[in-house]
Structure formats: structure tokens, C-alpha cells
Amino acid sequence: MGPDQLAELVDRYGAALVLYARQWCDCPEDVVQTALLKLCRQRTPPGNLIPWLYKVVRNGAIDASRAARRRRRYEAAAADAAPKWFAPSYDPTGLDARAAAAALATLPAETREIIVMHVWGGLTFEQVAQALGSSAATCYRRYAAGLDALRKTLGAEAPVKTT
């Protein structure tokens, strides 16, 4: 993989991968960087690059989370540091990032993963299914159920379908 391809990959998926890793650990940028380095070390790029990258980020984030838990046993001062899911923004749509993050945190882990990969990562349900080892139909059902739960929690109405 050349530098231009890597730069394009980072520009297109970097922020979404950081958000995705943030679900499990408090060092998502490091996890994403490590995953990109693993990609660069591959002799031949994986066939399904984006799902592969999400899977590597997920595994790295889970490993980082386990390491942090072990460290916290010995470092009591770090115990109250909580990762934030969303960077502060000035969203004209009126979305309250704290409320959205809290609502997202109430969802089951796999549903939350699916929503983050699809909405912020821009992955198709087929790509999400590959990353999670599931079917696209199951991912879509969990996605739809998760959005319904978020709407109820946030007091938002479902969009009206127009024909």
C-alpha cells in the first residue's frame, strides 16, 4: 500500500475508526495508528480492506481496554477517567452530543457497534456483517432496532416517509 492510498484511507475512515475504537478504550488514536501500521506491514492488502481494518481496530481496542483495566488496579488515580464518545461540536441540527453518547451507551454492545460502523463509518451492512462475523440482514435488524431505541431515549420522532 502506497503513501497516497494510506492517506486517502485515513482521510476517509480515520475519524470513524477512532470513534469506533472509543467504545472500548481510552486510547483510540493509538489503536487506529497500530491497525494502520499492521496494514502497512501486510505483503498483500486484505481482500476486504475496510471490514478487515474495523476488525483489527476492534481487537486492538479490546486488548487496550484489558491492559488499561490491569493498569487501573495499580493506579487508583486513573480509575475515574472516562472516555468521551463525541468531541464537542456546534451542530446546527440541535443534537446534544452528551445525550446522544449516553443514549448510545445504553444500547447492547453489538447494536452500538453496528450503528457506529454504519452511520459514522459509512460501511454497508455487508461490510459491517463481515467485520462482526454476522449476516447483513441481522445487522440491519439490529441497526433499525437500535435507532428506534435511540429515538425513544432522545425523544425524537421517526422520519416521515414520503412517496
Domain boundaries, the chain: 1-83, 94-156
Percent of the chain with pLDDT over 70: 82
User: Rounded mean pLDDT of 78-95?
Assistant: 51
Q: Which of 15-19, 49-53, 123-127, 149-153 has the lowest mean pLDDT?
A: 149-153
8 Å CB contact between 136 and 129 = yes
CA atoms within 13 A on the CB side of 124: 5
Q: What CATH number labels 94-156?
A: 1.10.10.10
What integer is the mean pLDDT of 43-51? 90
Computed on alpha carbons and rounded to an integer, the radius of gyration of the chain in Å comes to 17
pTM: 0.61
Per-residue confidence at 79, pLDDT binned at 50, 70, 90?
A: very low
pLDDT tens profile 1-10: 788 888 999 9
35-39, 62-66, 97-101, 158-162: lowest mean pLDDT where? 158-162
